[in-house]
Copies of this chain bind each other. A is one copy, B any other.
């Protein structure tokens, strides 16, 4: 990406092993993330550009001398962040706080909207899949790299548990995966907030029980009415704007919790006093999707959840720029890239 709206496919030097803990991946599936739309909307023009893409399924092409758990030919999920797998945070299952964490497509790291890329700390970062590269479940498996684990993290942060009422702010791919996660964790009521008919329909198929398409104060009142008068026990914030954050806090039941996974666009959080006076917990952050794969994978393999349905378009590498346009214009929920 060379600036807002300026996505180009370019030839770059081949990825090569640098550290003995590296692996080289050949990407079989990647995708465009809602968070890629932030720079697509506002990035300053850049001569050198920024390599994009942080979600992939890929074949291991080569491994460094110290890689122990992977070999050439393995099919793996590449989560959006690297993690060494050995530090105290990785051991706690919080790989996005790893002592060596870095995010693909940031700070000079290559992105996965590409034919191949280098993976530092391959043992700690990658997760080996028990299927072939053309398995029919590929779209759902690809969501393990980010959006499903991120929706799950929002649900965990919002303390979703059996019998609880849940509200999901944001009807993008992460919000839709939040609906899946909330249902999977036993929520009794799941209110999706949004106004795109295709997304709402999918949310309902995923388990949403109620739809709120109002905005602002009207939306807050509507959610409270639906959720027992006081608001939802658990709120999943899947947008990151000030208004959505304020709404999320306002619709939480006193004593409830908000799980934030939308990247906050502001250093100051609105709703601080509302959260305080209502004893609402605000949790969340970059999801340790690496830690969640093991728990979520069986539900995909055994067909209990179908998060891959968030993909409604597939492009080759040459059409990635059009994929960005389609997502930015809300023509598409989420675009898969097949290099």
Contacts of A279 in B (CB 8 A): 94, 96-97, 283-286, 288
- Which residues of chain B are near A280, meaning CB under 8 Å? 285
Chain B: CB-nearest residue to A267: B273
Is A29 on the interface with B (CB-CB < 8 A)?
A: no
Contact status A92-B255, CB under 8 Å? yes
Shortest Cβ gap from A147 to chain B (Å): 17
Chain B residues positioned under 8 Å from A268 (CB to CB): 268-270, 272
Question: How far apart are the CA atoms of A187 and B254 in the complex, in Å?
Answer: 28
* Number of identical protomers: 2
> CB within 8 Å of B: which of A243-290?
254-255, 260, 263-264, 266-273, 275-286, 288
Q: How large is the interface on A (under 10, 10 to 19, 20 to 34, 35 or more residues)?
A: 20 to 34
Q: Which residues on B sit within 8 Å (CB–CB) of A278?
A: 97, 285
Question: Of A157, A272, A288, which is in contact with the most chain B CB atoms at under 10 Å from its CB?
Answer: A272
Decide if B255 touches A264 in the complex (CB within 8 Å). Answer: no
Q: Out of B92, B254, B286, which one reaches A97, CB within 8 Å?
A: B254
Contact between A272 and B263, CB atoms less than 8 A apart? no
Given A92-B255, A278-B285, output 6 extra A-B contacts at Cβ < 8 Å: A89-B255, A268-B268, A268-B270, A269-B271, A269-B275, A282-B282
